[in-house]
Amino acid sequence: MKEPTTEVIQGTLDMLILKTLSLEPMHGYGIAKRVEQISRGVFKVNPGSLLTALQRLERAGWLDAAWRQTENARRAKFYTLTRTGRKELDAVTADWKRRALAIARLLDAEG
Amino acid sequence: MSLWRQIARGWTSLTRPGAADNDVDREIRHYLEEAEVEYRAQGLTPDEARRAARLDMGAPVAVREEVRAQGWESVVRTAAADARFAARQLRRAPGFAVASLTTLALGIGASTAIYSAVKPTLLEPLPYPDAPRIITIWDRLPDGHRLEVTFGTYREVLARCRSCSALAVTRPWQPTLTGADEPQRLIGQLVAADYFRVFGVQPLVGGGFDPADDRPGGRPSVVLGDAVWRRVLNADPRAIGRSLLLDGTNYTVAGVMPPGFSDVLAPDTEIWSLLQYNPALPPNGREWGHHLRMVGRFADQSSFDAVAADLDAIARQPLPSFPRPGWAAVKNGFAVSELQEDVTRSVRPALVAVMIAASILLAIACVNATSLLLARAAQRRGELAVRAALGATRPRLIRQLVTESLLLVVLGGGLALLFVRMGLETLVAIAPPGLPRVDAIAVDAKVFAFTFGVAVVVGLVVGLLPALRASRSALRPGLQAGARQTTGGHRLLRRGLVVAQVALALVLLIGAGLLLRSLNRLFAIPSGFDSAQVLALKVHVSSQRFDAATIHQRFAETLAAVRGVPGVAAAVLTSHLPFGGELDPNRYGIQIESSANDPKARGSDAYRYAVSAGYFRALGIPLRRGRWLDERDAADAPLSVVISESLARRRFPDRDPIGQRIHVGPENRPWYTIVGIVGDVKQASLAVTETDAVYVTTPQWVFADSEVWIVVKMARDTGVSASAIRQAIWSADRNQPIVRTVTLDELVALSAAERRFALVLFQLFGLVALMLAATGAYGVLSEGVTERTREVGLRLALGAPRRAILSMVLREGTWLACTGIALGLVGATVASRALTTLLFDVSRLDAVTYLGVTVLVLGVTFAASAVPAWRAARVDPSTTLRS
């Protein structure tokens, strides 16, 4: 039997990161864990892709980054959603919902 | 804000790569630690937890590279790395680097220098407002030769030409400035009051000339050039109205020209004054002498054709209100040309030819660079294959190769800038004297951008070609064969380039050959005089200082002083010198007393020389009949004239000229009796056939010439220095200004300056081209031999004689040369058309030149292919087959 794929759907990683950070500021590992938890293990985030995406989103001005102390006393880079980041999240969420709905309709259609 | 972040983060990452890396590393480390904690919480041992975390992450270095690979700065980073790598590659192949750099620098440099020199002369409008509206107007001789106009003609055209908005005449003037410091001679022009209006430029300060002063007895006034205003008047802002003592007369300063103004008709001019000729046009005065250059500007609503038609109509329809003497009847119409065309006339053919030569050289440089880069790419196919196998993507390989060829071109361009500087200085130094606007010649940024751009495009294309090929086929054959064989298409291209090089070199060499033969033919023509060991000094005669008799007396003393210098064989005086220039205003109509009513005899001209006794012997001009002029022909003696052989033959076909009487110039001048006939002398240049001349003694001529030549014949092999002669002249007359010192040999050589200029450049470029073609042929052949070593070894092992191997390679070389030569010959028959005006007595399809150059090129390419052929023949089959 084929192993179920856990790869994040192409092009949705940015959206997932933004959504996760809209709940609270978080460091890289936290984001990865949160995505895994909420998706109940359907998506596993590749660390390389995650860090790359974080740097890109930070440069785009959607996230702010700062080194801070974690609850277990380690220094970590925490990412915060900015105002333009929230706007971007709203836009991509609306777009994604529209498309997901369309795909669901197509798949549910009965011949 | 985000744009700012992009720039700032990228910049930090570029300038402090360590800090950026550190940031990413810390983030990765933290990620691993958190993952480890998580796994341990799930019950794994510390070691197992660490391994599991690592497994999730992959290699931290790879992650870091992945993060760092995005953003604009990584493009910059790779480009810099490429450039560094390219520089290393060049350093590793110094032969290749030096060859391509030199070729590129030479090609870009030489063509930039030449285009820069040609641009202000031929391609840019003259520096005057509406410059294309300025025209020059000449009288014409029956043979079509142009002739200076008379003041009378100017007055008539001025009154009748409706399409001209301004019209003026000008002649040279060299006053001596005295009064302030030591006397100095200024270079000036006497002009009609409207002169500056023709150019459309007004004095910066002052109102300029008052037209009311342009008559005999008018107030003497001058307009100064910017340089003389600064030099003589120390840039005095209140210079207007000040007076200058010139040739003993006080001239009032009426204006100062703007700094950039230059008079292209007489480029060295720094001072202008009014002609002050008599508008009443006395029939025997200077007003009817052919010695003025006429310039005009046509009106806005008119055109060049309209003004030419207008002038033609004026020439053809004389009016009773404007009487014309016979010699100024404008019977052959006017010669009208645009000012720019007029002043560039003598140099244009040479410049155009040289420009073509420079373009060919640039083409050769590009072909050569292409060929070298292709060869280099072929050598590196193995390396490229390895890089591709290790995971370099195709765009990455292309980018690297293009970076390499661009680096070459950029370095070549930088080097070329040095060449341009040197080249321009050399060009200006060897430029023919007729080149106008020499002062405007400078390195032209636009021109450099153009030639450099051509090279960049070539570099891009050439870099791209092997890169595309290499990256396409890199993996397979490159690795397998260890880069031993080359693809067929590639070889064909390189052979094609060699053929092109040979063809272009042949074109240049044929140009050089044609010019060389022309010059040889030209200097084989006897000049009619002996120019060896003759020094000529042009001196200025200040007519205001003395009357005619005193002038003659002074010069007699000066000549005596010069004769006293040891080693001087003879010292004589003449108003003009063959090849000395300014001969045109010195042509006079000749009328013969015994055939005064013969209409054929009218309008025939001869050059007039006013000479001192001994002139013919000093210059080695032979006496054919009668006697030489001598001391007997003094001011009060009967007027005598000696004529040239050609004049005697043409005008006295059926009788003895000795004893006949002629007029020289206006009819109201006295009769001269012919006392002798001398050999013909070339006057303006060796190529011009007119030799008619009349000689009179200085005191017997109607006026004292304003400039004369002191001609000194040295005894053989005595190194008399020019300065000793000058000292002797000044010992007789302390204030005698000496305008020019030159040997007669130099004057003769100078008469072919344009041809020589073109020849020097064609020879230089041709030899460079031949060298490059030979190197190209050598390169492609020896590469072929290297590639075919195994094949050759096999052939030898199978019993092929070494002679066969030798001739195999030679045949290939000869085939390349012959194809190139065939193409080049066709090219030369077309390109030589640009040289036609520079050739003399040699057809542009001259068989000897074509054959000679063909043999030369064939010989050189044969020699270039002999080396690889010899190497091929010496291949040892046992070693090559085993390797």
The one-letter amino acid code at B144 reads G
pLDDT of residue B542: 65
Sequential DSSP letters for B157-223: HHHH-SSEEEEEEEEEE-PEEESSSS-EE--EEEE-TTHHHHHT---SBS----GGG-STTPPPEEE
pLDDT band at residue B182 using 50, 70 and 90 as cut-offs: low
Please check whether residue A23 lies inside any domain of the structure: yes
Please check whether residue A111 lies inside any domain of the structure: no
Q: Considering only B207-216, B712-721, B841-850, B855-864, which range has the smallest mean pLDDT? A: B712-721
pLDDT of residue B312: 92
Q: pLDDT at residue A1 above 50?
A: no
Residues B11-19: contacts with CB within 8 Å, 24+ apart? B11/B73, B13/B68, B13/B71, B13/B73, B14/B73, B14/B76, B14/B77
Alpha helices in B380-530 (DSSP H): 381-389, 394-430, 445-473, 479-480, 488-524
Q: pLDDT at residue B205 above 60?
A: yes
- Mean per-residue pLDDT for B662-691? 83
Distance from CA of A39 to the nearest CA of B (A): 18
Q: Considering only A3-17, B288-302, B507-521, B852-866, which range has the smallest mean pLDDT? A: A3-17
* Structural domains of chain A, count: 1
Q: pLDDT at residue B470 above 70?
A: no
Cα separation, A49 vs B74, whole angstroms: 17
Query: For residue A28, what is the nearest residue in chain B, using CA coordinates?
Result: B31
- Mean per-residue pLDDT for B495-510? 91
Q: Which two tokens stand for residue B339?
A: 């000012």
pLDDT of residue B481: 47
Chain A contacts to B (CB-CB under 8 A): 27-30, 32-33, 47-49, 51-52, 55-56, 58-61, 72, 74-77, 84
Give the list of residues 6+ apart from residue B44 with CB closer than 8 angstroms, or none.
B52
pLDDT tens-digit series, residues B311-327: 999 999 999 999 888 87
Please check whether residue A3 lies inside any domain of the structure: no
Cα separation, B101 vs B105, whole angstroms: 6
- Mean per-residue pLDDT for B263-270? 85
Q: Do A51 and B26 touch (CB under 8 A)?
A: no
B527 neighbors B681 (Cβ within 8 angstroms): yes
pLDDT tens-digit series, residues B565-609: 888 889 999 988 888 876 666 777 787 877 655 554 555 678 889
- Mean per-residue pLDDT for B209-220? 91
Report the residue count for chain A: 111
Cα separation, B269 vs B91, whole angstroms: 54
pLDDT tens-digit series, residues B341-358: 888 887 888 888 888 888
Q: Do A51 and B35 touch (CB under 8 A)?
A: no
Q: pLDDT at residue B561 above 80?
A: yes
What is the pTM (predicted TM-score) of this model? Answer: 0.71
pLDDT tens-digit series, residues B134-155: 999 999 888 777 888 999 999 9
pLDDT tens-digit series, residues B271-301: 999 999 988 888 777 788 888 999 999 988 8
Task: Domain ranges for chain B, please list them.
Answer: 2-70, 145-331, 543-736
Residue with tokens 């210079």: B239
Burial class (CB in 10 A: 0-12, 13-18, 19+), B230: middle
Please check whether residue A72 lies inside any domain of the structure: yes
Q: Do B27 and A58 touch (CB under 8 A)?
A: no
Out of A47, A52, A61, the one facing B56 most closely (by C-beta) is A47
Distance from CA of A85 to the nearest CA of B (A): 11
DSSP letter at B432 equals -
- Mean per-residue pLDDT for B125-132? 88
Out of B31, B38, B70, the one facing A28 most closely (by C-beta) is B31
Q: Which of B6, B7, B26, B27 to mutate to test the interface with A (most CBs of A within 10 A)?
A: B27
Q: pLDDT at residue B786 above 50?
A: yes
User: What torsion do the CA atoms of B225, B231, B234, B237 make, to the nearest 10 degrees?
Assistant: 0
- Mean per-residue pLDDT for B415-437? 79
- Mean per-residue pLDDT for B454-460? 80
Write out chain B residues lying below 8 Å of A61, CB-based.
1-2, 5
Between B876 and B584, whose confidence is greater? B876
pLDDT of residue B822: 95
Count the neighbouring beta carbons within 10 Å of the beta carbon of residue B818. 16
Q: pLDDT at residue B431 above 80?
A: no
pLDDT band at residue A4 using 50, 70 and 90 as cut-offs: low
Q: Do A51 and B27 touch (CB under 8 A)?
A: yes
Can you give the CATH number for the domain in which A19 is found?
A: 1.10.10.10
Q: Considering only B416-425, B800-809, B824-833, which range has the smallest mean pLDDT? A: B416-425
Q: pLDDT at residue B676 above 80?
A: yes
Q: Which two tokens stand for residue B166?
A: 């301004």
Q: Return the biggest CA–CA distance within chain A.
A: 59
Q: Which of B744, B575, B748, B606 is nearest to B677 (CA)?
A: B606
Q: pLDDT at residue B192 above 90?
A: yes
- Mean per-residue pLDDT for B637-654? 89
Torsions phi, psi for B677 (to 5 deg): -125, 130
Please check whether residue A1 lies inside any domain of the structure: no
Q: pLDDT at residue B479 above 60?
A: no
Write out chain A residues lying below 8 Å of B57, CB-based.
47-48
Confirm whether the ipTM is greater than 0.90.
Answer: no
Range of the domain at A33: 13-105
Write out chain A residues lying below 8 Å of B71, CB-based.
55-56, 59
- Mean per-residue pLDDT for A32-40? 87
pLDDT tens-digit series, residues B46-61: 888 888 888 888 788 8
Query: For residue A54, what is the nearest residue in chain B, using CA coordinates?
Result: B67
pLDDT of residue B246: 87
- Mean per-residue pLDDT for B33-48? 87
Mean pLDDT for chain B overall = 84
Write out chain A residues lying below 8 Å of B5, CB-based.
58-61
Write out chain B residues lying below 8 Å of A56, CB-based.
70-71
Please check whether residue A56 lies inside any domain of the structure: yes
Q: pLDDT at residue B434 above 70?
A: no
pLDDT band at residue B852 using 50, 70 and 90 as cut-offs: very high
